[in-house]
Each structure stands twice: as C-alpha cells, then as structure tokens.
Amino acid sequence: MPLTDSGARMPPPRPKKDMSMGSIEDEQVFMDGAYATLERHIEYLDGRVARLRAAPSVGTVQDELERQAQFENLMHQLKAARLAGARLCFGRIDTAAHDSYHIGRVGLRDADGDPVLLDWRAPNAAGFYQATTVNPMGVTQRRRIITKDRTVTHVEDEVLADPTFASSDTDAAAAAVEAPREGRMGDIIATIAADQDAIVRSPLAQITVVEGGPGTGKTVVALHRAAWLLYTFREKLAKDGVLVIGPSTAFLHYIEQVLPSLGETDVVLLTPGQLFPGITATRSDPAATAAIKGDLRMTAVIAAAVEHRRRIPDHDVPITLDDGSTISITARQLADARRSVPKNASFHGGREQFLTRALDSLARDRCRRRSEDPSDEDNRHDALVDIIDDPAVRRTLNLMWLPISPERLVHLLLTDPAALKQASNGILTAAERRALTAVNESDWSVDDVPLLDEAAHVLGDYAPPRPRRSAESDDGMSELSVSDPFASVLTTTVAERALEDREWIYGHVVVDEAQELSTMAWHCVARRSSRRSMTIVGDLQQTTHPAGARDWDEALRGIGGTVSLHTLTVTYRITKQTAATAVEWLTRAGGQAPLLQPIRDGEPADLITCAEPDLAASILAFVGDAEGRACVVLPDLTYARLSRELRGVSDEFGSGDAALDSPIAVLTARETKGLEFDTVIVVDPDAISAQAARGSDIYVACTRATKRLALVAFLPPELG
C-alpha cells in the first residue's frame, strides 16, 4: 500500500537514477502517476478508518487510549492526503550524484515502498529552497513545476551547477504576488525563499523572532515553520498542539486555511482577546488606560487584591450556632490552620487546606465536649456533620478566606476606586488609579484579558460546594465528584481540549503582530509556552499599543529561553511606489523609515478628492472591474458611520465578519494588520495618520496594497 509520512520520520527515499530534466510532457506523466498513487492511498486510509470505527470497543482504558491515538493518526493522514490534491507536486531537484527528487505537499510511496514524492518539509527537500549557485548544496538543477488543476502548464529551470547562471528565488515569489487575491492567505511551499526557509527549519527549542517590514513574508513563514515543526517533531508536538495568536478575528479568518492546506489541524487560532476561556474581547481601551493595564506592576496589584481577601484573626473567635450553643476557634488553632497551607499553594487551594484544618479543630473540640475520643475518625465525622452546615460557622470561616472568581476580582479593581486604592497603595499613582477606573464599559477589553489570566493564576481553581444530598454523603466539606478522566480524551481533539483548558501548555506558540503585546500580555502568553518554544513575528515600526514593544530584548526579557533574531528585508507584497508613499506618510507623522527592499515596480498612488456624500461612488469608480480584492480603510472616529453609509449604497462593501468575503472589505487600519489586498483605498489619511503615535496606522493602511493604492481626501463642505 502507498504510504505517506504519518508523523514518524520517513527514511530517506531511494532516488531514481539518471533521470534528466525532461519536458512538460514528461512531468505530466509523472504528475498523473503521483495523483494515481495519492488516490490509492486515500482509498487505503478510508478503509482503515472504517474498519477501526466498526471494531467493537473492548479492553482496558489504556487499550481505548491507544485505539484513539491510532484513530487520530489515521485521520491526520487522511486529512493531509485529501488536502494534498491541490497542487500535489510543485518542484524537482537533480543532484550531483545523478539523483532526482520530486517535491510536493506530502511524502508518497508506491505499492512497493519506493518513493514517489518527497514532503517539502523533509531534510532532503531543503536544497529545493536553499540551494544557490554559490552554495548549491549538491543540487545541480532545480525545476519549478507550474500546474493548473492537475495539468502541468510550464516549468522553470535553474542550472545551479553553472556559476554564471543568475538564479533568483525572488522571481517566483514576485510572480505569486501578481496573482489576484482571493480573500484568504495561501501557502507558499512552492516559492519559499532561501532566507525564509532557514527560518522555517530553525531549531524547536528556542524563541525564533522574525522581524521585517510589510510584505516580507513574516506571517506565512511563521505558519510554514509551525507546519514544519509538526512534521519534524510530531511525537513531541501532536499531543500538545500548536497555538497561533493573531491580532484580530479578521486576521485569523484570513490565515485559517494555511495550516490545514499543509495537512496540519492540531492548531488553535486565538486573538489576544481570546486567551482566557469563555471570553472574546475586542474593545480597545484609551491609551492611558491600556498603558497601565499592560504594565507588569499589575501583577503586584492583583496579588495584593487577593491577599486582602485573607483575613485571619489573631484572637479567639466565638461562634453562636443555630441551636443557641457557642463554640470557639482559638487563635492558636487558626494559626495552625494557616501554617498548614503550602507556601506554593494558590489562593483557593490554600483555602481548602485552611478550612479542612480549621474544621478538624472544631470537630475535635466538639468530641472532647461530648467526652468522645477525638482521634476516632467516626467520632470526628459525626461532630463535623453537626457543625458543617451551620450558617454561622460557614459565614465566620468564609470571611477569613473569601473565595472569589477572577472575573469578579478584576471587575472590583476596575470599578471600585476604594478596592483599587487598597490593592495598589505604593504601586500605582493616584493618576494611574483614576485612569484605570475611568472607563465605564460593561464588556471586557483586550487588555483586561491578561489581568483575568493573572487573577486566575493567583487564585487557582474554585468550584463552590454543591448542596449535599444527605448527611451520610457529606465528607465534611462538599460532595466528592469523580469523573471519568478519559472521557474527554476519547471524544475531543487536541485543539478542542486545549481551548477549554486555561492551563494548557502548548508544544509551540506562534505570535503574529507581536509588537502589539504588552508586558502583561507576554506574561499571559508565556504561561502557555513553558517550554519556551515560540515563533514571534513582528515589525517594531508598526507598534501602536502604548505598552507595546519598542525593543525585542526588552519585550522578551521576562520570558527566558534562547532567542534567535532573524530579519527579513525583501518585500514581495508592496511595490516600490507604494513603499515610497507609505514611508512618506510615516516619516511625516514622526515615524522612522524602515529598512525595506521592494522588488516590484508599480503605479504611483492615486490621489482622489471628493465630497463625503460621494465617497461610495468615487470608490466604486476607482475599483472598477479590476481583478482581485479591494479594501477601504477608514479612520477610527468615523468608521461606524462611514462603513454603514458605504454598505447602504452597495452590497459590494462588507465589514465585520463579512469583510473578507466581500469584493470590497471595509476595515480600520488596525483590523488590516497582517492582511493584503490587490487594491487599497485609504480614506482621510490625515485622520488615520493622527490617530496613532508615530504614524503607525497610516503606514499599516498604505502597505496592505499589492497593486493599487489610492488616498481619498474630502473636499470642504462648502466646496462639496
């Protein structure tokens, strides 16, 4: 049976000898055979999956876990094989040893076990991406195979054995950018440049930082790196999954097909506002508020707020029960209960230990008053049953160690000036406290999410005790609930389990637009990557968050781990003319001109003036019947009104969740981060330039265009 790589490393293929660089017809013959092999492999996998599903469930829990692992492995192979049908093979290399390898989306072997296709991530495929005339890596010739559906349309050959041959890995990438956008990011496995491939294949156990200007391929390189890591280190990463953090839901929709198209599905996509389970925050705070929420000092504020909920008296505490009798817990017993709590216990974990010890002391005292042996477990249990449900006992002990949810704690800090002052005394200034409590919004902001995560970390898990069914079922605190620890494993995917678990540790974390993360946000991300295996992508020139990164060393100082910095300077997306316009607006607003090397020529940016009521007509006229996707970028302050007016004129315009599926997306500058469009229309560039420090928003807006850029200025009302 034909087999693909299933996570275990495929042994080096046995190359076909003396195969010269043939014609398009020869490649078509190969392509037909490769697709036939793929179809047989899919049929084989379908059969194995069907048989496994039909098999009765027998054996131990361990047997079921192994069966589930086998099922997940087969499903992964099946998904990868089905997705590989789109552009199955895209290249070939010939070596100095007269060996040939065809490169494709997946590795394939024929029925005899002989290699048919080499997975693009395999070590032997590196030469396809990294070989040059200066360093040919044993590759004599490289061929790029261009197909339409399953038909080979043409080939492009590079003779690397000839030092006079001028090879360039930027030509294929530039040609790919010329193709019309389809509203979603595609993979670049056929056009990865040598410097990009070196990043893709960099070591797992490090923090790989990829810095570069707009259009240098940072995002797609990071995603292909995630796919390469999952292929190369599948045993390490498959059980933990990979987390990809992107700046917005629009961005995540834009990239969501890249990894599945590469055969990888054990991936969780989240925005920074979704890192706390159950919450999707999209609102941005005012700059002054966001700066404080993103400051690492907030960890001390939250720790103090939690500590203030521990109020253990240093004196004896009498408790009058419902029956009129009085019991007392002594200062010594309270101190003993406090000392019994491990130093590293969370707040709620410590509370459980404290209450258990305190109640045990009360139960022993009650036994002594009854002249019963307090060392007898049954005696203590009976005494505990008598007092555990008494409201006075519960109230008294609860007030000593008050439980609280993370949401309630953070809400108190942000809405109750007195609570905030108590927790932040000596940490925040009065002005900073006013900035924190000045925002009166009912929903969570993006910068609240790291605060919630920090509060949850300090507090630990807390489940309020459920009412007991009877005295006989009471264990003294709450009814014990035992669940099947394997139930979720047998019914959910890795990604689904990770989404529900705030403490899930991912095998690898990718952070895009990483310059926008505050110190508190990095604190939150680091908890999800304790192994410090990360790919961090960003452009410091595009930083808009007031607590965002200005320097990578500073931003990552608290994370630890080995950091490897890579800089990409060749931009494939934007033309020289678009880059010049973007840099002009950037520097005019106080920003610093970035190191950028556009390789494509294009048309100068268009300048359009119109009356505001004519905006939709002017945009539609400019876009015309041009190929691809267009985007209108509006100022933050007028976005709600203008986007509504544009949608009212034509259903060509789309915003929100419909933006990327509309012919003309309508977005703010920050919503366009990481996206690209054939045509971009920037409305009221002066307003966009002024809305973010150092012109970062106008720079982002202008650099989304791959072909055409227009700037729209409004005529004064009296002239319109």
pLDDT value for 486: 36
pLDDT value for 394: 87
Distance CA 587, CA 501 (A): 44
Mean pLDDT of 583-603: 89
pLDDT value for 694: 84
Who has greater pLDDT, 555 or 463? 555
Say yes or no to pLDDT of 489 above 50. no
Kindly report, residue by residue over 504-528, the tens digit of the pLDDT.
Answer: 999 999 999 999 999 999 999 999 9
Check: CB of residue 354 under 8 Å from CB of residue 340: yes
pLDDT value for 257: 82
Say yes or no to pLDDT of 169 above 60. no
Say yes or no to pLDDT of 499 above 80. yes
pLDDT value for 477: 36
pLDDT value for 491: 46
Check: CB of residue 338 under 8 Å from CB of residue 305: no
Mean pLDDT of 673-695: 93
pLDDT value for 11: 36
Mean pLDDT of 41-63: 84
pLDDT value for 640: 95
Would you mind telling me the total number of residues written for the chain in this entry?
720
Kindly report, residue by residue over 288-308, the tens digit of the pLDDT.
Answer: 999 999 999 999 999 999 999
* Average pLDDT of the chain, as a whole number: 86
Largest CA distance in the chain: 102
Question: How many Cα atoms are found within 13 Å in the side-chain-facing hemisphere of 432?
Answer: 18
Mean pLDDT of 481-500: 56
What are the phi and psi torsion angles at 26 (to 5°)? -65, -40
Tokens read off for 145: 């195979």
Angle at 140 between CA 137 and CA 141, to 5 degrees: 115
Spatial CB neighbours of 504, under 8 Å, sequence gap ≥ 6: 240, 241, 497, 498, 528
Residue ranges and CATH numbers for the domains of the chain are 16-167 (no CATH), 287-307+405-462 (no CATH), 571-714 (3.40.50.300)
User: What's the count of helices (H) and strands (E) in the chain, helices before strands?
Assistant: 28, 23
Who has greater pLDDT, 466 or 667? 667
Distance CA 237, CA 229 (A): 8
